[in-house]
Amino acid sequence: MSADPGSALPVRTSRYRRRGRHSSPHQLSLPSDSPALVIAVPGSARQDTEETVARIADQAAASCHGAEVLVGYLRGGIDHLEDVLASLVSHDGSLAGVVVPLLPFPNLEADQVIADVVAAAEAPLLIGDHLGPHPLLAEALHARLADAGLARAARVGRISIVTAADGVIVGAVGGEDAVQAAEVVAVLLASRLTTPVAAASLNDPGSIKDAAARLRRAVPRVALAPCLVGPELTSGTLEAIAALTSTECAPPLGSHPAVGQLVAIRYGAALADPAVATMVAQAKGEPLTAPAPRAASRGAPAGNGKEAPAPAAPRAGAPATAGPAAGEAAPAPAAPAVAGAADPAPDGHEEPQPVPPAGTSAG
């Protein structure tokens, strides 16, 4: 797989490839010496949380054959992430593990805890991206709404006699960054439901009330679709928010198959980092090839003995950082870009156009 910071999916290459022309993006073909997949779970190990996380780990393991799957919690004294990472061993400086946060969106507090624990670990580690935004999250939210009788089933062939909600709020745990990411999922969900969908923060009940009020100006029945796995909030929080905002609430994502698939996708995307190939080559004593310049990302190595990523190369037409030598003419300016033209993606395709703002019904 090759690195593409703007892509939500890993790109296939020779080392970590998916077998078959139409293989799913979460099905990875891994070498026997693949680093461990460590799922970082917010909160502490409780009975209900452990059961959900165990199912997610099993789903991820089914997509990452050959990789050891471990679970570490950010709080409590049982299976703490720090202890789990301390058990990992690096062979000759090679990558020991990839830590994937079990978080759909950015969460400042949890992200900082993960970063601090990874930085203190002795073995070389990577931190994967959050699970979303991604179309699989919209699929899982649709399923949970249907489970609660708040949306019609995803498949047209199913018989549905429910009276679906007329508008939906995608609830995110976190601050402004989380809400912005949830807005992308809201647009994807609106295209599935053909109903108005808005995004709001579950950490701020006022945000949920404002979103519900906006939707009720156009539709009578509003439902809350919490876009979280479950451990992010304490028990009873969602019920309290639903009662306070007079909305009907769907269950959390829990162990929906999309969650385990996204964990595997983020694991594969982290392994696509060019720095991983460099670390593997160094560990095996192979000659190094110059990696393609790239911008820094969450997939950058962390921990002791890891190298910082190379600076990104300037874009075509960008001004040079150093001026012309004495007696030399300055280079001619680059031709202006055509207005509205999309920059090509690394694989030769155009970048997707921005999604429309959330809060409106998709065609």
Per residue in 219-259, pLDDT (tens digit) is 999 999 999 999 999 889 999 999 999 999 999 999 999 99
Rounded CA-CA distance 199/86 in Å is: 38
Kindly state the tokens that stand for 95: 């990558």
Beta bridge partner(s), residue 97: 36, 125
Answer whether 28-132+257-302 and 135-249 agree in fold.
Answer: yes
Rounded CA-CA distance 16/33 in Å is: 11
Counting as low any pLDDT under 70, the low residues of the chain are 1-29, 31, 154-163, 277, 279-284, 286-363
Instruction: Give which of 222, 216, 213, 171 is closest to 193, Cα–Cα.
Output: 222
Q: Which pLDDT score is estimated for 277?
A: 67
Are the beta carbons of 250 and 141 closer than 8 angstroms?
yes
Q: Which pLDDT score is estimated for 33?
A: 79
Kindly state the tokens that stand for 331: 């280079």
Instruction: Give which of 65, 26, 102 is closest to 261, Cα–Cα.
Output: 26
pLDDT, tens digit (0-9, with 9 covering 90-100), for 136-153? 999 999 999 999 999 988
Domain boundaries, the chain: 28-132+257-302, 135-249
Q: Which pLDDT score is estimated for 283?
A: 65
Are the beta carbons of 217 and 211 closer than 8 angstroms?
no
Are the beta carbons of 255 and 275 closer than 8 angstroms?
no
Gap between the terminal Cα atoms of the chain:
35
pTM tops 0.85 = no
Kindly state the tokens that stand for 69: 């799957």
Q: Which pLDDT score is estimated for 274?
A: 79
Q: Which pLDDT score is estimated for 66?
A: 84
Q: Please tell us whether the domain made up of 135-249 is placed in CATH 1.10.3470.
A: no
Q: Which pLDDT score is estimated for 200?
A: 98
Q: What is the CATH number of domain 28-132+257-302?
A: 3.40.50.1400
Residue type, 184: V
Rounded CA-CA distance 310/201 in Å is: 36
